[in-house]
Each structure stands twice: as C-alpha cells, then as structure tokens.
C-alpha cells in the first residue's frame, strides 16, 4: 500500500446564499441527450411547493421523494436503482438534496447505475470498480460532512458500512446556507454535533497531521461560535455551520474519527439509533477520553436546552450487548486513532460493556 493516501476530492463546489438558483446552469453541460436528471429530495420538502418549483426540471427529469425514517439501507438503494433502470434505462445524473441520508442515497444509487450486482457487494474499501453516473450533493442540514466524504454509509444484511471509494465522491456540491433555514432546533443540534465530534475526535487522535488539524480547528471554532457565542440563531449561523460541516469532513478525510463514532455504530446496528443523536448520547459520557470537548458539549447542550436521551441500553439482553460490543470493536481504525496501537489492551470487552451500560 502506498505510504501516503492520495485522496480524491469533490470536482466542483459552489457556495453562497441563493446559489441553488444556479442549478439549471450547473447541470446543463452534464446532460447526456434526453437521459433525465433524477432529483432525490428529502421528504421534508414534499409539500414545499415553492421549493419544489425551483428544481430545474427539463424533459424527462424526475423528482423522487426519499423517505428518511430510517438511515439508508442497501435494499433501498438497490430498489431505487432497479426502478430507475426499469423506467429510464439510463440517466444523466442523480442529484441528492437533503441531509446525510439523502446525499448518501444519491451517491450509492449513482454508483449502482453502472456497477453490477447489489450494493451489499461494495460495502467496504475500494470495492467499487467503475465510475457511476454524474452525481451532485446539495445539503439542506449541516454537519455530517457527507458532501465531501468518499463514502456513503449503508446498513446491509450483516453490517453498517459505507461504499468507500474514489468513485464515491460527488462531482459537484452546492452549498447554499439558505436551504438549512427550516431545520428544527433539536435536529440541527444533533447533526451539527456530528461535525463538532468529528473535530474533537480528529484533533485528539493519533492519526492527526497538519492537514487534518487545519480543517478540524477551524470547523470546531465555527461550531463554538454558533452554539456558544451567539444568543439568537440567524442567517450567519447557517452560513458558518455549512462551512463547519465541509471543513469537519475535510478534517476526517485525512485522519479518522474516534471513540464516539465507534461506540455509536454499535448502537445504530443493534437499536437503529440515528447517527447524529447516537453520537450525542455517547459523547455525553466520554469525559475520560475527551475532557475538554465533552465539557464544551455539555455547555452547548445546556445553552440550547437540548435533551440528550438517557438509559437507552437499559434492559437489553446479553446477546444485544455482545453484538454491540462486537460491532464497535470491529471498527479497528477508529480505535487505533483514538487510543493508539495498543488500543486492544485499553478498550477491553469489559470496559466497553461498562460504557454501553451507562448510555
């Protein structure tokens, strides 16, 4: 393996309030004959006629409303792909408009339009062999960094794991802070804390380097400015948070996440706990690993009167605990980044069990 990771980035980025209005112009050169552009849109927007009318539909283009009740599954991705193939044969591109769930779905379906088989076959690292169709990501809630990452996280029959590859990165992203205006305060906080936690885990990890540090420090400061320094939420907060998400994603691209993510993956797999809130539930109890980060997090929670669920593992069976522990300890790079090469002697099954019992 090469000593230094040569990582693929998003090809085009447009930023600015109102930049969504430029979408028609941006997509025009990507249209292939009469093959349609398919717009995957978060279900929140399904009744927002004013917004839907701004989507630049041409010819056979189609809006597909994406149900985000559950995080994306391989079965759902395969079905969307099958439906598009049955209806259109081929498409010019897939545009994901929504949060991490919709953006990841768009990435996955774009890849599956050209790669044979099931998305299950590609959960892992560098298994995707050919480029997908054109794909663009347009976040409407900020924090995951899915707009810049080289993965799309999917829950499959045996594991929750992304399709990590150079082909997974978007060709284009449109960062328009205006689109995030309507996110409810609780959800905004949970997803934003995904970004804050990416920064803390990256900055306190053993994989840290100046590349990751530069982005991570800036993203963390932006999160603190909006959640600790400001007293009312305004347009500037959305602008900063959109950039925090981008920079936080860039920070982990060249390092790794840590304890909160490793533990939260176990919760997601066994209990279906969503990524943003799951990270908050775990991070709230990680003072031993990230004392400064957790102290700031608790201040943000208090200032914004956010409820962090407690006692969610109460009453789980022995089997469920064992399964969570196995899923979590399977995330080796995360643990190595967090605790160093000897992580296995530090994070024993017993120690992790005690942590899960506190959640």
Joined tokens for residue 212 = 């990751």
Q: List strand residue ranges (DSSP E) for the chain, in order.
A: 12-15, 37-42, 62-66, 93-98, 124-125, 134-139, 153-155, 160-164, 172-175
Instruction: Show the binding pattern over residues 194-223: x = contacts Zn ion (CB under 5 A), - = does not.
Output: x-----------------------------
Instruction: Show the binding pattern over residues 16-45: x = contacts ligand NAD (CB under 6 A), - = does not.
Output: --------------------------xxx-
- What secondary structure does DSSP assign to 147-203, as a single string? TT-S--EEE-SS-EEEEESTTTS-SEEEE-GGGGTT--HHHHHHHHHHHHHHHHHHH
Joined tokens for residue 320 = 């469920």
| Min dist. Cβ of residue 22 to ligand NAD (A) | 19
221-230: long-range pairs with CB below 8 Å, 24+: 222/247, 223/192, 223/195, 223/196, 223/199, 224/296, 226/192, 227/189, 227/192, 227/196, 227/300, 227/303, 227/304, 228/296, 228/299, 228/300, 228/303
| Min dist. Cβ of residue 148 to ligand NAD (A) | 8
**Binders in 104-133 for ligand NAD, by CB under 6 A:** 104
How long, in residues, is the chain? 359
Question: Could you say which of 73, 81, 240, 275 contacts ligand NAD (CB under 6 A)?
Answer: 275
The residue (of 81 and 274) whose beta carbon lies closer to Zn ion is 274
The residue (of 162 and 177) whose beta carbon lies closer to Zn ion is 162
| Min dist. Cβ of residue 194 to Zn ion (A) | 4
The residue (of 31 and 304) whose beta carbon lies closer to ligand NAD is 304
Q: With CB cut-offs between 5 and 8 Å by kind, which of ligand NAD, Zn ion, none does residue 336 bind? A: none
Q: Please, which residues have CB within 8 angstroms of residue 205's CB and are 6 or more apart in sequence?
A: 255, 256, 257, 258, 337, 338
Contact criterion met (CB below 8 Å) for 335 and 216? no
CA gap 29, 107 in Å, rounded = 20
Instruction: Show the binding pattern over residues 157-196: x = contacts Zn ion (CB under 5 A), - = does not.
Output: -------------------------------------x--
Q: What is the largest CA-CA distance in the chain?
A: 60
Find the residue with minimal CB distance to ligand NAD: 100
**Binders in 139-178 for ligand NAD, by CB under 6 A:** 140-141, 143-146, 149, 151-153
Question: Could you say which of 68, 243, 271, 306 contacts ligand NAD (CB under 6 A)?
Answer: 68
The residue (of 16 and 330) whose beta carbon lies closer to Zn ion is 330
Q: With CB cut-offs between 5 and 8 Å by kind, which of ligand NAD, Zn ion, none does residue 179 bind? A: ligand NAD
Contact criterion met (CB below 8 Å) for 276 and 290? no
Task: Measure the CA dihedral 285/286/290/296, to 10°.
Answer: -10
| Min dist. Cβ of residue 170 to Zn ion (A) | 17
Question: Could you say which of 61, 71, 201, 336 contacts ligand NAD (CB under 6 A)?
Answer: 71
Residues that bind ligand NAD (CB under 6 A): 42-44, 68, 71-72, 98-102, 104, 140-141, 143-146, 149, 151-153, 179-180, 182-183, 187, 191, 194, 275-276
């Amino acid at each position: 393996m090469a000593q230094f990771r040569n990582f693929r980035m998003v090809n085009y980025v447009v930023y600015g309030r109102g930049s969504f209005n430029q979408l028609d112009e941006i997509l025009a050169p990507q249209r292939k004959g009469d093959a349609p552009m398919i717009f995957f849109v978060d279900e929140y927007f399904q009744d927002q006629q004013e917004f839907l009318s701004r989507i630049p539909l041409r010819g056979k283009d189609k809006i597909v409303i994406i149900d985000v009740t559950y995080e994306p599954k391989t079965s759902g991705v395969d079905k969307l792909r099958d439906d598009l193939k049955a209806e259109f044969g081929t498409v010019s591109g897939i545009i994901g408009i929504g949060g991490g769930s919709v953006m990841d779905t768009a990435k996955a379906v774009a890849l599956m339009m050209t790669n044979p088989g099931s998305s299950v076959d590609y959960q892992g690292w560098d298994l995707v062999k050919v480029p997908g169709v054109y794909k663009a990501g347009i976040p409407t809630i900020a924090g995951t960094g899915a707009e810049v990452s080289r993965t799309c996280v999917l829950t499959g029959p045996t594991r929750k794991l992304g399709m990590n590859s150079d082909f997974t990165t978007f060709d284009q992203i449109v960062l328009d802070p205006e689109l995030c205006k309507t996110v409810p305060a609780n959800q905004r906080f949970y997803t934003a804390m995904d970004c804050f936690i990416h920064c803390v885990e990256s900055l306190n990890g053993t994989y840290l380097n100046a590349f990751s540090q530069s982005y991570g420090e800036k993203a963390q400061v932006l999160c603190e400015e909006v959640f600790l320094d400001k007293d009312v939420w305004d347009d500037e907060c959305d602008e900063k948070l959109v950039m925090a998400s981008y920079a936080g994603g860039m920070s982990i691209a060249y390092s790794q996440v840590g304890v909160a993510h490793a533990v939260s993956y176990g919760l997601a797999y066994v209990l279906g706990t969503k990524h943003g809130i799951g990270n908050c539930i775990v991070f709230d109890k990680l003072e031993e690993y990230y004392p400064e980060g957790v102290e700031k997090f608790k201040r943000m929670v208090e200032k914004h009167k956010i409820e962090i669920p407690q006692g969610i593992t109460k009453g789980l069976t022995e089997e469920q605990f064992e399964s969570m522990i196995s899923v979590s300890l399977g995330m080796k790079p995360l643990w190595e980044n967090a605790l160093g090469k000897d992580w296995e002697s530090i994070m024993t099954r017993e120690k992790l069990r005690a942590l899960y019992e506190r959640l």
